[in-house]
Amino acid sequence: MEHLVKPPKAAVFGAANGVMFMTFFGALWSAIGIIGSNKLGAPWLLVLSGIVTLTLLIGAISLFGKARNMNNVTAEKEREKWNKINRKFGMIFSLEGLAILIASVLCNLFDHFEVFFPIMAIIVGIHFFPLARLFRQNFYYGTGIVLSILGIISLFIPLNTTFGDVSLIARSTFIGFGSALTLWVTGIRIWITTLKQLKN
């Protein structure tokens, strides 16, 4: 049975930020999927996306509230540890953003923007691997693997297809909803795991 240790205040703030990131970027990927689906399943896909986004947003806010109410009695060594972790996270996140920017420029330069979203999913997936090691969260490896595989598969999906009378941007629909679901599940996992730790 997994032993859950009660996290310090800085760790709970970090978890809240993690849920917020998954909420925001999950909503962004969902929007890509909804646009690609060209009103197929409307308005239910939009409603479902809104419900999940709102639920995770509430989760993130609740964790921020719990963190603020915690006693800030943390050893100097522990505070320094989390300051170092936060600096490394900032560096990893900045490198991810830079890689996405470079990919966007290159895709436009070579007139192949249709492969940008799959490449972006792969970049986002790869950035979870150093995060897994940094935060010692093995399920981040799963998130990274799934996003990377989704990105690779979507490169082989036709750009456009027809479903009934609706013309879809099939690649955007697949990678958008697939990535959104992956990030949402990750956000829920962070939220639930942190709540369990706080109950110890």
Q: Give the pLDDT confidence score for residue 73 in this predicted structure.
A: 60
Q: Give the pLDDT confidence score for residue 1 in this predicted structure.
A: 39
38: left (phi over 0), alpha (psi -120 to 50) or beta: left
Q: What is the pLDDT along the chain (200 residues), one digit of tens a residue?
A: 344 567 788 888 889 999 999 999 999 999 999 999 987 877 899 999 999 999 999 999 999 999 888 876 656 677 788 778 889 999 999 999 999 999 999 999 999 999 999 999 999 999 999 999 998 889 999 999 999 999 999 999 999 888 777 788 999 999 999 999 999 999 999 999 999 988 86
Contact 18, 190 (CB under 8 A): yes
Contact 121, 153 (CB under 8 A): no
Closest CA to 197 of 73, 36, 16, 22: 16
- What DSSP designation does 150 have? H
Angle at Cα 21 formed by Cα 180 and Cα 78, nearest 5°? 140
Residue ranges in 38-169 assigned as alpha helix (H):
44-68, 76-109, 116-135, 139-154
Rounded-to-integer distance, Cα 134 and Cα 85, Å: 7
Q: How many residues make up the chain in this entry?
A: 200
Residue 161 dihedral angles phi and psi, to the nearest 5°:
-155, 170
Q: Give the pLDDT confidence score for residue 9 in this predicted structure.
A: 82
Q: Give the pLDDT confidence score for residue 138 in this predicted structure.
A: 93
